[in-house]
Amino acid sequence: MIGTGISVNSITARRRHPLARVAVLALALGLLGGGYALAAPNGSTADAAIASGKADDVAQGKSLFVAHCASCHGMNAEGTKKAPTLIGVGAAAVDFQVSSGRMPAADAGPQAPRKPRPEWATDVVINQLAAYVQSLGGGPTVPSAEQVDPAKGDPAKGGELFRANCIQCHNFVGAGGALTYGKYAPSLNPATPTEIYEAMVTGPQAMPVFNDSTITPEQKRDMIAYITHVRSQVDPGGSGLGRIGPVTEGLVAWIAGISLLVLASIWITAKKRRAA
């Protein structure tokens, strides 16, 4: 098996060790076995763990899970009354929820808001947690850097998909919008391309899943290209007023426009002709 406690550093330090040959042999066998496990049609949980991370990541992830997640999601991620099961949600869901700070949840509101990550939730730790959850029942994996590279997408095509699938909740530029019972579609502005992709494949909270047969990975990349292009675009018409449409425009017309003109009319009529 790959990575049976033998890291690259220890190999470097001990390659002249008498047991080095045994270690190399074990590594080769591990690679072979791992390759077979990847190619093998029956996906056992152990195989899934291999697909997304190393077995020691899984072990590490389990202890992290027990420390930070199990109080709500159950000791074996089987779910409790407070929180759903995580078996089968995949590494992508873990990466999305923890990297955006939504998990661990702060309180039991209608929806977990985006917030700064806890200090312990480094990228490495998230990978380990994700590997553990992935090992439980598979599910969508974290996309590669290439899959979410906005430069490789077509924003015009993505825009059409975005308008057809996303804006009814997230607003036309992804500024977010209200849903029922205190839920909401969050703003897409702080989301990384990876998080946007993961949200589409996992359907967090109130969001539906847009799997790869509904929207292909290339189309997802196009959408990411559109979202990141539009949100980074400098508003050509001046201040964007929050980009939420006519509500702020109306407020500005009354609060800035009418107030200024009323002040002007007061000023003009207050000017009297000096007595001759």
Partner 1 sequence: MNAPPKAIAGVSTFVDDRIGAGNFLKRNLRKIFPDHWSFLLGEIALYSFVILLLTGTFLTFWFKPSMSEVPYTGSYAPLYGVHMSEAYASALHISFDVRGGLLMRQIHHWAALLFVAGMTVHMLRIFFTGAYRKPRELNWIIGILLLSLALIEGLTGYSLPDDLLSGAGLRITQGVAQSIPIVGTYVSFFLFGGEYPGHDIIPRFYTLHILLIPGILLALISAHMILMWVQKHTQMPGKNRTEKNVVGAPFYPAFMIKSGAFFLFTFGVIALLGAFAQINPIWLFGPYTPADISAGSQPDWYMGFLEGALRLMPAWEINFLGHTVTLSVLIPALVPLGIVMTGLALYPFLEQWVTGDRREHHVCDRPRNNPHRTSIGIAGITFYGILWLLGANDEISANFHIDLYTTTWFGRIAVFVGPAIAYWITYRMCIGLQRKDAEVLSHGVESGVIKRMPNGQYIEVHTPPAEDIAEHIRGKKEIPVLTSAEDGEGIPPKGARSALGRLRAKMSEAYGTDRVPLTDGHHEEAHEEEHAGVGGGDRKELH
**Binding residues vs partner 1 (CB under 8 A):** 110, 155-156, 159-160, 163-164, 167-173, 175-182, 184-185, 226, 229-230, 233, 235-241, 243-247, 249-250, 252-254, 256-258, 260-262, 264-266, 268-271, 273
CB of 45 or CB of 248, closer to partner 1 = 248
CB of 212 to partner 1, least distance (A): 22
CB of 72 to partner 1, least distance (A): 22
Residue 140: asked if its preceding bond is cis (omega within 30°), the reply is no
CB of 69 or CB of 191, closer to partner 1 = 191
In whole angstroms, give the CA distance from residue 82 to residue 239.
Answer: 43
CB of 75 or CB of 251, closer to partner 1 = 251
CB of 210 to partner 1, least distance (A): 16
The half-sphere exposure of 16 on its side-chain side, counting CA atoms within 13 A, is 1
CB of 66 or CB of 167, closer to partner 1 = 167
Closest by CA position to 227, among listed 187, 194, 170, 188: 188
Residue 178 has φ and ψ, to the nearest 5°, of -85, 145
The residue with tokens 């078996």 is 87
Closest by CA position to 133, among listed 121, 141, 124: 141
CB of 56 or CB of 160, closer to partner 1 = 160
Using CA atoms of 73, 76, 77, 79 in order, give the dihedral in degrees to the nearest 10: -60
CB of 276 to partner 1, least distance (A): 13
CB of 220 to partner 1, least distance (A): 16
The enclosing H or E element of 127 equals helix 123-137
CB of 40 or CB of 156, closer to partner 1 = 156
CB of 98 or CB of 173, closer to partner 1 = 173
Residue 95: both structure tokens together: 């990466």
In whole angstroms, give the CA distance from residue 101 to residue 85.
Answer: 19
CB of 259 to partner 1, least distance (A): 10
CB of 95 to partner 1, least distance (A): 26
In whole angstroms, give the CA distance from residue 132 to residue 150.
Answer: 29
In whole angstroms, give the CA distance from residue 74 to residue 85.
Answer: 8
Rg (CA), the chain: 26
